[in-house]
Amino acid sequence: MSVFAVNYLCRQTLRDHAFREAMRTNPRAAVAGLPLSEQERDALIAGEVGELYAMGVNSFLLGYLVRFELLGLTLDSYREKLLAASRRNKTKS
């Protein structure tokens, strides 16, 4: 998996204004050239931060997606998705 690439993408949304705008207007095209697995790409485009977190993506960096309201994410949806992922992980243990 390419968790590093997802972490890097999240950081780029903070630093690169053109990339951030591309993520806002056409996220699928914005991530097309990045070395992501199909599962990562699909979860990212769908705003499934809980799934990405479960894969090992840094929750702090995922927060940049929320900060700029990308991929349909809001603070409430971000929190709900991370909590759901956390609960799933606890039931697996």
At residue 6, does pLDDT exceed 60? yes
Cα 71 to Cα 24: distance, rounded to the nearest angstrom: 7
What is the domain range of residue 64?
A: 3-92
Quick: pLDDT tens for 19-77: 999 999 999 999 999 999 999 999 999 999 999 999 999 999 999 999 999 999 999 99
User: In this structure, what CATH number is given to the domain that contains residue 9?
Assistant: 1.10.700
Q: Which residues contact 25 (CB under 8 A, 6 or more apart)?
A: none
Quote the tokens at residue 31. Answer: 């991530």
pTM for this prediction = 0.87
Residue 15's contacts (CB-CB under 8 Å, 6 or more residues apart) are none
Asked whether residue 1 carries a pLDDT value surpassing 60, the answer given is no
pLDDT tens-digit series, residues 75-89? 999 999 999 988 887
Dist CA 93 CA 91 (whole Å): 5
Burial (0-12, 13-18, 19+ Cβ within 10 Å), 3? middle
Q: How confident is the model at residue 93 (pLDDT cuts 50, 70, 90)?
A: low
